[in-house]
Amino acid sequence: MGKKELAALFSSDPDRYYRVSLFDKMSFSRRKCGRCEKFFWTLDSGRQFCPDHENYSFIGRPPTSKRLDYVNAWKETDKFFRANGHTIVRRYPVVCRWRDDLYFTIASIVDFQRVVGNQVVFELPANPLVVPQMCLRFNDIENVGLSGRHYTGFCMIGQTCNADAPGGYWKDRCIELDYGMLTQGLGIKPEEITFVEDVWIGAGAFGYSLEYFVRGLELGNAVFTEFEGDENNYRVMPNKIIDMGAGLERFSWITTGTPTSYDCCFGPVVDKLIDATGTDRNPELLSKYFGAVSSKLEHTGSMRELKSLIAKEMRIDGDKLAAMVTPYEAIYTVADHVRTLLFAISDGALPSNVGGGYNLRVILRRALSILERLGWKNVKVEDIADMHIDYLKQMYPELEEHQQDVRTILQLESSRYVGSRERMNSIATSLKASSKKAELSVDDLIRLYESDGITPDFLVEQGVIPGVPSTFYTKLAELHTSQSAAGAQANKPIRGLEGLPSTKLLYYEDESIREFEAKVLKVVDGKFVILDQTAFYPRGGGQEPDTGKIQGAKVVEVTKHTDVVVHKVDDNSAAKLVEGQIVHATVNARRRDLITKHHTATHVLNSASRNMLGSWVWQNSAFKEESYGRLDITHHSALSKEEVQKIEHSANRVIRGNHPVIIKTYDRGDAEQEFTFRIYQGGVVPTSNVRIVNIKGWDIEACGGTHVRTTGEIGLVKIVKSERIQDGVVRLEFVAGEAAINRMQQQESQLAAIAQALGSSREKVIESFNKAMDDAEAAKKKIRTILRVVAGAMAGNVSAQAKKLASGVRLYSTYDEELDEDYHIAIGEKAIELDPALVYVALVSKGQGIRVIVFAGEQARQKVKAGAIAKQVSGKLGGSGGGDDRFGQGGGRSKDRIKEALLLAEEAAK
Ligand SMILES: [Zn+2]
Ligand SMILES: [Zn+2]
């Protein structure tokens, strides 16, 4: 059964599913749409069709006396639901850190969905509640700014409750409230409101819904999630969920009746941009045009078609109309894109070439290219972000906290765009000129994007391709998902673990345990040992496993398979262990201690990096081993030496401060509310309890690893390397505790050895080194001078030893293991001066390979070319070479073919 059949099923029993008490109380009547056969509820006895077929008749004449701009529309909503017993919850981040199947929060209900095992569960911080949730969606980018109602970022008012928990209600109360919101909150007359019967199918759950419309505009959709399972096999959920989502943009628009919803929802931003760009105001024409677009878009194929249709209707020349509306479309689009970027960057996302960052870079570059195309040089995206903050801070005060971060990122990305623009243009021009443009496949487009940063939108704009292929974004996303999957170390499944009880995890009960007794439950394949309890930490969360001994058997690897910990012992020792036996086990204490120090140091460094660099810094991944640790952070640029040193200093201050590290298990919802989504540095936690590692006053993360009790135990942390490993990700490699001391001692010994070799002291080693370099340079110079002096004499010798070939050319060839290429270049050059019929070929041993030097005298050049010989000979040696007629060079690595190479040279000169 699909959506359609399900809709038919629900609508076949309206009393059970759709008839709510309000309909009876107010005498709404149920009708069947004369066009699409959908059922709807209305007070208007003349209504024959559902609102799907209706024009936006509120444009220019809104059905209410209230005029609410965006922020005021929210204030009314807040007031209404608060008065009716709802908790108003602050918005969740637009970057969806609590679900690993989503980059961005795409609907208000996502706030309250958690994945446990394979199931989606609902967790509500209050009941009932309303949240003004900013949602980001990038699937309709091409309509944004043009249609009057599409956005990449919009506010979904989420009215949510658990019907079966205290405070909850079901459909009667829900629709009564929504009706109250429209009539009292927005001041809309009851007969203007139509409810349409629909269904909603989500992941693992579904229900029926009532969408409500006013004058053709859908304002909200109340979903009654009653069933779990799929459409063919389902049951009533024990905790039914109300998920009503309404567009705040639409609440404002229906009351103002502006030509587009952008005019009322971006507050003063649109007006400011009209002024800043010197755009002509022509409200009447715009109202007419955008009113027509909003009403007709649904029923016309493309914007282009629609535009020419409207031009005809308005009896205005198409180009003239375009000239009028284009600046407005540009202003709307840019305002939308910047607002989306503002929320995303404030919530810690970075524009990049990977993952969700891709979408952000696409819209930023789109906004920049629009500003460029219209010649609006004085308009800066970071200033537009400030305008939005100025307006929205009454509703979202947190935006102001990140104002500087947002400016930093937008400026940086803008300058990068300018830098790459020229190269992008030249590539686009050559693509356009070549016959290949028609054949650009999705793979080609992905290559262009990944290697040159050229978005398909840019190619569309440049007229290289007609449109962005629909599979481009999906394919790109897939590519990046599979890359991350390949990076993760999945445990190889082990057969024979079925039916075993969960292992008791001693390393969580008491992290200090290094010796313990346990019972052997099973030995699989003679090498996998399962105990009833263990203090061995299994590989996980980027932390390497413990090693040690179980009754003398050496433990070489520890992994966790669901709830069972498996100890792999080395082959020779497995036989000692018998099922049912009580064994004594010891964990390698030194290894565990070092890994633990590296692990806690990761947390310290992560927060140090964020404090030093900016709020966009998140842990991308981490790795903790005995000898070193690795922390990948999200950051836009490679780090300077000064930045690395500052992070290091700050981290070591925290270590010296000896902050307590407090580990406690929380209910997941409580932890999220108390510590925010910052806890998910290591990714999503798929359980309903989370283990919170709290470095008091410094860093709070959900983490399952082992940790020191106070930061002082780490002793010292030293970053040994920092490197930008991909767009938007910087890797820090570091050493902590004894590993840091070892590392320093090692470096000190190296330095001492160098000093000794230079006959200097460690204090003066740089001075001595510079002097040694100068000496070496002077010696080289001297040799070159000597060579010049003796070259004449040597060259005469060469000529005398040359072999006369049939071609009249005289060939001198040699393999030299002693003298270097400088020598042969000096001699060869002189020799062909003295003997114009000479060809000089020298193969010179150099490190692992052979250098090839070829000269051809003026006379010889009429028969053979030096470059060609160098190419052939180098090829023989497994390498490559070339040059001009007079001089050629190259090289290869096949030292076993020197003889053949020399013969080949002779062959070539014949
Ligand atoms: Zn209809
Ligand atoms: Zn951790």
Per DSSP, the residues of 610-640 read HHHH-TT--EEEEEE-SS-EEEEEE-SSPPP
Quick one: which ligand is closest to 598's CA?
A: 2
Work out the pLDDT band at 761, boundaries 50, 70, 90: confident
| Structure token digits, residue 212 | 């409500």
- Ligand closest to the CA atom of residue 692: 2
Whole-angstrom Cα distance, residue 526 to residue 414?
A: 61
User: Ligand 1 centroid vs 50 CA: distance in angstroms?
Assistant: 4
DSSP 183: I
| Best mean pLDDT range from 240-254, 567-581, 888-902 | 240-254
Give the distance (Å) from ligand 1 centre to CA of residue 453: 44
**How would you class 613 by CB atoms within 10 Å of its CB: exposed for 0-12, middle for 13-18, buried for 19 or more?**
buried
- Average per-residue pLDDT in the chain? 90
Q: Separation of 580 CA from ligand 1 center, angstroms?
A: 71
| One-letter amino acid for residue 598 of the chain | H
Mean pLDDT of all residues in 645-658: 97
Distance CA(120)–CA(113), nearest Å, equals 6
- Ligand found nearest the CA of 682: 2
Could you give phi then psi for residue 387, rounded to 5 degrees?
-60, -45
What distance lies between CA 70 and its chain's CA centroid?
A: 31
Q: Which pairs count as long-range contacts for 418-427, CB under 8 Å and 24+ apart, including other chains?
A: 420/452, 420/453, 421/372, 423/452, 424/452, 424/453, 424/454, 424/458, 425/462, 427/452, 427/454
Question: pLDDT confidence of 459, banded at 50, 70, 90?
Answer: confident
> Which bound ligand lies closest to the C-alpha atom of 216?
1
Q: Can you tell me whether residue 885 is helix, strand or coil? A: coil
Convert 197-227 to b/e letters by CB count within 10 Å (16 or more is b). bbbbbbebbbbbbbbbbbbbbbbbbbbbbbb
pLDDT at 453 over 80: no
- Kindly give the distance from the C-alpha atom of residue 588 to the centroid of ligand 2, in angstroms, as a whole number: 20
Q: pLDDT band for position 489 (50/70/90)?
A: very low
For the CA of 595, the nearest ligand: 2
Beta strands 515-524; 504-505: pairing state: unpaired
User: How many other CB atoms sit within 10 Å of the CB of residue 436?
Assistant: 12
DSSP state, residue 543:
B
Between the CA of 619 and the centroid of ligand 2 the distance, in Å, is 10
Query: Do 583 and 543 meet the contact criterion of CB atoms below 8 Å apart?
Result: no
For position 145, what pLDDT does the model report?
A: 92
Task: Judge whether residue 821 has pLDDT over 90.
Answer: no
Is-contact 536 560, C-beta < 8 A?
no
Q: Are strands 548-550 and 582-587 parallel, antiparallel or unpaired?
A: antiparallel
Distance CA 170, CA 176 (A): 10
Closest among 872, 444, 827, 350 to 635, alpha carbons compared: 350
Half-sphere exposure at residue 862, Cβ-oriented, CA atoms within 13 angstroms: 8
CA of 681 to the centre of ligand 2 (A): 8
Least confident of 569-573, 577-581, 780-784: 569-573
Q: How far is the CA of 54 from the centre of ligand 1 (A)?
A: 9
The pLDDT confidence band at residue 854, using thresholds 50, 70 and 90, is very high
Q: How far is the CA of 292 from the centre of ligand 1 (A)?
A: 20
The set of residues, in sequence order, having a beta carbon less than 8 Å from that of 886 and lying 6+ positions away, is 832, 855, 856, 861, 866
Strand pairing class (193-201; 39-42): antiparallel
DSSP 510-534: -TT--EEEEEEEEEETTTEEEESEE
Which residues are paired to 220 by β-bridges? 212, 246
The answer on pLDDT for 435 being more than 70 is: no
If you ran DSSP here, which 8-state letter would residue 185 be given?
I
* Pairwise CA distance, residues 619 & 631, whole Å: 7
Directed axis angle between helix 283-296 and helix 303-314, to 10°?
130
| Banded model confidence at residue 790, pLDDT cuts 50, 70, 90 | confident
Q: Which of 115-119, 597-601, 671-675, 801-805 has the lowest mean pLDDT?
A: 115-119
For residue 157, what are the contacts with CB-CB under 8 A and spacing of at least 6?
Answer: 74, 77, 108, 130, 131, 132, 133, 220, 244, 245, 246, 247, 248, 251
Q: Report helix angle 70-83 to 248-256, nearest 10.
A: 110
Question: pLDDT exceeding 70 applies to what percent of the chain?
Answer: 97
Specify the 3-state DSSP secondary structure of 684: coil
3-class SS of residue 67 = coil
Ligand with smallest separation from the Cα of 704: 2
Residue 442 CA to ligand 2 centre (angstroms): 39
What is the whole-number distance in angstroms between the Cα of residue 100 and the centre of ligand 1? 38
Q: What separation in Å is there between the alpha carbon of 15 and the centre of ligand 2?
A: 54
| pLDDT reported for residue 486 | 35
Strand partners, 691: 665
Dist. CA 298 → ligand 1 center (Å):
13
The ligand whose atoms approach the alpha carbon of 39 most closely is 1
Query: At residue 483, does pLDDT exceed 50?
Result: no
Strand order in the sheet with 838-846: 803-804, 810-816, 838-846, 849-856, 887-892, 880-883
Q: What's the gap in Å between 765 CA and the centre of ligand 2?
A: 41
**Sheet (strand 689-695) strand order:** 661-667, 689-695, 699-702
pLDDT at 745 over 70: yes
Distance 8 CA to ligand 1 centre (A): 14
**Structure confidence at residue 474 as a pLDDT band (50, 70, 90):** low
Q: Which ligand is nearest to the CA of 596?
A: 2
34 CA distance to ligand 1 middle (Å):
7
**Picking from 433-447, 474-488, 524-538, 804-818, which range would have the lowest pLDDT averaged per residue?**
474-488
Judged by its nearest atom, the ligand closest to the C-alpha of residue 298 is 1
Mean pLDDT of 446-469: 78
Tens digits of per-residue pLDDT, 199-248? 998 877 899 999 999 999 999 999 999 998 877 888 999 999 999 999 99
5 CA → ligand 1 middle, Å = 17
User: 487 pLDDT exceeds 60?
Assistant: no
Q: What is the pLDDT of residue 482?
A: 41
Q: Six-digit token pair at 515?
A: 């010796």
More confident call, 450 vs 721: 721
pLDDT of residue 573 exceeding 80? no
Q: Tell me the CA–centroid distance for residue 543 and ligand 2, in Å.
A: 8
Taken as a whole, the chain contains a residue count of 910
Name the band, by pLDDT with cuts 50, 70 and 90, for residue 484.
very low
State the amino acid at position 468 in one-letter form: V
Starting from the CA of residue 50, give the closest ligand: 1
Residue 392: pLDDT above 70? yes
Q: Which of 319-328, 510-519, 812-821 has the highest mean pLDDT?
A: 510-519
pLDDT for 480 equals 54
Ligand that comes closest to the CA of residue 198:
1
Q: Which ligand is nearest to the CA of 707?
A: 2
Residue 436's pLDDT is 62
Q: What percent of the chain has pLDDT over 90?
A: 58
Best mean pLDDT range from 428-432, 453-457, 503-507, 747-751: 503-507
Give the pLDDT score at 676: 87
For residue 641, pLDDT beyond 50:
yes
* Per-residue model confidence as pLDDT tens digits over 496-530: 888 899 999 999 999 999 999 999 999 988 889 99
223 token code pair: 């979903």
Whether 241 contacts 149, CB under 8 Å:
no
**Which pTM does this prediction carry?**
0.80
Ligand 1 center to 55 CA (angstroms): 13
CA of 38 to the centre of ligand 1 (A): 6
CA of 305 to the centre of ligand 2 (A): 55
Q: Which ligand is nearest to the CA of 603?
A: 2
pLDDT score of 214: 96
